[in-house]
Amino acid sequence: METTLRGVGVSHGVAIGEVRHMGTAVLEPPAKQIPAEEAEREQGRARQAVEAVAADLMARGNLAGGEAQAVLEAQAMMAQDPELIADVERRITVGSTAERAVYDAFAAYRDLLAGAGEYFAGRVADLDDVRNRIVARLLGVPMPGVPDSDEPYVLVARDLAPADTALLDPTLVLGFVTEEGGPTSHSAILARALGVPAVVALPGAVELAEGTVIAVDGSTGEIFVNPGEEKKAQLEASAAERKAALASATGPGATSDGHKVPLLANIGGPADVVAALDAGAEGVGLFRTEFLFLDDDKNAPSEEKQVETYRQVLEAFPEGRVVVRVLDAGADKPLDFLTPADEPNPALGVRGLRTLLEHPEVLRTQLSALAKAAEGLPVYLEVMAPMVADRTDAKAFADACRAAGLQAKFGAMVEIPSAALRARSVLQEVEFLSLGTNDLAQYTFAADRQVGAVSRLQDPWQPALLDLVAIAAEAARAEGKSCGVCGEAASDPLLACVLTGLGVTSLSMGAASLPYVRATLAKYTLAQCERAAAAARAADSADEARNAARAVLSGE
């Protein structure tokens, strides 16, 4: 019998196929004692397994490239964490086997993170994956992971580790569905980069029986279980219509009546540039420079290395706009040489610009590297600070940019509600705003962006979030300055129209989403977008806002 389930759609497209489940998680190793004379051998086994898993994660990252590479390299560093390894060896010394010591040491560290209020929920999931890989290697059993199949399928899992998501084969994995996760989780972001339809936060996803035929609509978040022929035909026709619209939409982003909305790409480094150019990006709206720093979380990269990396990106967009976010460290992106290890509430502590202002030499080096990288290039360089709270923050950043001799526009990211509410004040110090809707939602609703249980509050269609976007955009208009969106909200084609109607002046997203947004914007006038935005803000929930906007744009 055909039934319909609803999760959170995080990657556009439609997939129809049979369910295949992720490999079973590693079983808990038995707790048996070893003689003291075997401790050294077991410690050697543990170290070899850790190094092998770290090397495997690094190799997967090299194959994947882009954002996936940075995520997997961070996992590899997690596997080699000196404190964890020391705890493993201590447990072996008092009689544990290598596999049991790894299991217990990781469990203890996991409990510490969970006890900190789950602000590291995304890292906890990554930690579990690293543990499972090391224990599997020690036990000599197959790694948990993507199932082997010669036929295309829809992958279903409780959650997907970055190591699995990064190397999904789109020719075999038609789409994926998870029970956990949220719209801004690692897996969601990587799914969009791959262009694989995906739905997350679907209650009871793992209860879908192996081999069941399901249809996944990554745009609406709907899952159709045992769809009938009529439903399949309807979904396939819709997918074909979308594909045709994508093929016909080319050139700069604009509404049907010619209102220009530059469509830019979010990138993590030079490896993402080709996909951005292929998708027709008009520039870069968010260059996440922290991935360069994650190569070595013990030391900042040299100025020379930074210059080389930045210049590769700037050279790819002659006459284009490239917006660089300076290092955003802290919370879910800790760096040993910068981030306090004992913060009770890291997401509300020293992160982003606060970290850089406490370490001015790191900011000074980065700004100097950007200035040198842009020398002689016709690119329009813009540099922005993360986690700006008020005018004082904005002035401190602008002063640092001027002191470094940076010939560029200085901007502020709006990720904290205070910055949106006082946007006109912030704009007295900087020349543009960029809305990071992922963190702005997190701080507006007190809802961790990595926790599936609160994904309802991470929905960028929440009217309160749209209100903050409107306030910031109106402030920028009044000051004659620009206000873009570089959060994941921009990758939703329907929401892109609403954001345009709210007064946002540019949209930046993962490269895979650019054609969808370009094609959808081209179907509607600016006035229609404004009416849809007003209808969405008048709603009382994210679902109501989405439906209201859709009704306006479809002429219902």
Task: Please choose, from the candidates 525, 527, 419, the residue with its C-alpha nearest in 3D space to the C-alpha of residue 475.
Answer: 419
506-509 and 263-267: which strand pairing? parallel
173-178 and 198-200: which strand pairing? parallel
For 368, the enclosing helix (H) or strand (E) is helix 360-374
- Token couple for 376: 């002689």
Residue of 401, 483, 486, 497 with catalytic role? 486
222-225 and 213-217: which strand pairing? antiparallel
> Is the distance from CB of 432 to CB of 440 less than 8 angstroms?
no
Q: Is residue 259 among the annotated active site residues?
A: no
Report angle CA 341, 347, 350 to the nearest 5 degrees.
60
Q: What is the DSSP string of 218-246?
A: TTTTEEEES--HHHHHHHHHHHHHHHHHH
Residue of 186, 483, 497, 529 with catalytic role? 186
List alpha helices for 94-177, DSSP H: 98-115, 121-139, 162-165
Type of residue found at 243: K
* Four-CA torsion 341, 347, 348, 353, nearest 10 degrees: 80
Q: Is residue 186 among the annotated active site residues?
A: yes
List alpha helices for 427-556, DSSP H: 437-445, 463-479, 493-502, 514-521, 526-537, 542-554
For 114, the 3-state DSSP assignment is: helix
321-325 and 283-288: which strand pairing? parallel
For 286, the 3-state DSSP assignment is: strand
Instruction: Give the span between the Cα atoms of 465 and 539, in whole angstroms.
Output: 12
> Is the distance from CB of 441 to CB of 462 less than 8 angstroms?
yes
Burial class (CB in 10 A: 0-12, 13-18, 19+), 230: exposed
198-200 and 432-435: which strand pairing? unpaired
Radius of gyration of the chain (CA): 24
Q: How far is CA 28 from CA 31, 92, 125, in A?
A: 9, 16, 17
User: Look-up: residue for tokens 């920028």?
Assistant: 476
Type of residue found at 83: E
For the annotated catalytic residues, the residue numbers are 186, 486
